[in-house]
Amino acid sequence: MDNKNINLTENEWYVLECLWESFPRTGREAVDHLNKKVGWNRSTTLTMLRRMTEKGLIRCDESGEVKVYYPLVEREAAARKETENFLDRIYNGSLSLLVSAFTEKQNLSKEEIDELYSILQKAEEAQK
């Protein structure tokens, strides 16, 4: 799957979180996990697994006695794309507006401030 075109729904995130947590998973394992996690019934989970297989988000191996599912999207790539979408939608793509909004409403610890400085220094060095 082309990670640049990832645009997951909330329900697709649930399924992928299930698979990222532990894969491969059988259909029964996914049904049990998602029932406990989000309250889905068997039919809902199996429908989501089928649709996500058709979309190329997950892979279904049917070579054994039971269907086994694997994620085809990396968690980091999905999180990065979701962050980009959020930043574009809410802050017009401005990272500084996002950071400003969070730091105005939340007290940062000394460690968090130091970590932010470190991240910014690394970004600055990368541009040189």
Q: Which tens digits make up the pLDDT trace of 18-69?
A: 999 999 999 999 999 999 999 999 999 999 999 999 999 999 999 999 999 9
Q: Is residue 8 part of a domain?
A: yes
Q: Is residue 85 part of a domain?
A: no
Q: Amino acid identity, residue 128?
A: K
Q: Is 99 strand, coil or helix?
A: helix
For residue 106, the model assigns a pLDDT of 85
Structure tokens at 50: 């089928």
Q: Is residue 13 part of a domain?
A: yes
Q: Is residue 57 part of a domain?
A: yes
Structural domain of 128: 94-128
Whether the per-residue pLDDT at 4 is higher than 80: the answer is no
Residue 1: pLDDT band by 50, 70, 90 thresholds? Answer: low
Q: Do residues 17 and 58 share a domain?
A: yes
Q: Is residue 31 part of a domain?
A: yes
Q: Is residue 80 part of a domain?
A: no
Q: Is residue 79 part of a domain?
A: no
Instruction: Specify the number of domains making up the chain.
Output: 2
Cα torsion 32, 38, 44, 50 to 10°: value is -80
Q: Is residue 124 part of a domain?
A: yes
